[in-house]
Amino acid sequence: MQLLKTKILEEGQALSDSILKVDSFLNHRMDPVLMHEMGKEFKRRFQEEKIDVVLTIESSGIGPGVMAALELGVPMIFARKRKSVTLTDDLITANVYSFTKKEANEIAVSNKFISSGDRVLIIDDFLANGQAALGLMEICHKVNATVVGIGIVIEKAFQDGGAKLREQGVRVESLAKIEALSLGEITFVEERED
Ligand code: G4P
Ligand code: NA
Ligand code: NA
């Protein structure tokens, strides 16, 4: 998605050979116009699939997730990482270990909002080692929901998450794929834009 790549080049900062800072439009301040365009692009890529619900994870997945849901005309659910005082229903949970942060989180979704037979599109902001997406898939499998695909805003193609997810036979669509980062330099995977 050219608009996103341009934004990444203009405002993204490679902090090291593995971390891209994009807090001016995705992880802290959000650009709603760009976010809406992302929602349209996710719809374009998944429109032939029947989708009942978009599933993402707090916090940075919520922006792109809700825009995808808006365009698809379905609700969005975000998995929670922290316990909520009002979320006291039966919870479907998965454990997610972050190699980037070196910490484990239990993520949870109420069983009221996702159930057997649902066709789910998973959306997230970053794909690094794939643990968050695998956790969301696990939640879907626990309730016999079908994962129709995974939509990612920025995939770090030099990390193994993309391969892990695609090995499971799930379709992964990333709006921007980063081939390499080095201090101050960002290189994209060359792709045909269609
Ligand atoms: P994984 O799910 O692919 O295995 O990713 P990992 O655990 O390594 O990532 C942990 C957190 O760090 C996630 O956010 C993820 O989005 C974020 N992250 C990973 N690599 C990068 C990067 O290069 N740049 C940025 N900006 N973020 C990265 P989170 O903790 O869930 O935070 P949030 O959703 O509340 O923002
Ligand atoms: Na994030
Ligand atoms: Na995220």
Q: Is residue 88 pLDDT above 90, yes or no?
A: no
Instruction: Provide the pLDDT for residue 184.
Output: 87
Q: What percent of the chain has pLDDT over 70?
A: 99
Q: Is residue 168 pLDDT above 60, yes or no?
A: yes
Average pLDDT over residues 43-66: 98
Region 2-185: CATH code: 3.40.50.2020
Token pair for 68: 């995808």
Within 10 angstroms of residue 53's Cβ, the number of other Cβ atoms is 20
ipTM for the complex? 0.95
Token pair for 193: 């834009």
Ligand 1 pocket check for 174: Cβ under 6 Å: no
List the residue whose alpha carbon is closest to atom 16 of ligand 1.
126
Residue 164 alpha carbon to ligand 2 centre in Å: 19
Average pLDDT over residues 74-94: 88
Ligand 1 pocket check for 21: Cβ under 6 Å: yes
Instruction: Provide the pLDDT for residue 194.
Output: 55
Residue 124 alpha carbon to ligand 3 centre in Å: 5
Give the SS3 label for residue 31: coil
Residue 33 alpha carbon to ligand 2 centre in Å: 19
Instruction: Provide the pLDDT for residue 82.
Output: 80
The atom of ligand 1 lying closest to the CA of 27 is: 36
**Any idea where the domains of the chain sit in the sequence?**
2-185
CA end-to-end span of the chain? 9
Instruction: Provide the pLDDT for residue 100.
Output: 86
Question: Is cis: bond before 24, omega within 30 of 0?
Answer: no
Q: What percent of the chain has pLDDT over 90?
A: 90
Residue with tokens 């971390």: 19
Q: State whether the Cα torsion 150-136-188-25 is positive or negative.
A: positive
DSSP state of 80: B
| Stretch (H or E) spanning 121 | strand 119-127
pLDDT band of residue 69 (cuts 50, 70, 90) is very high
27 annotated binding-site participant:
yes
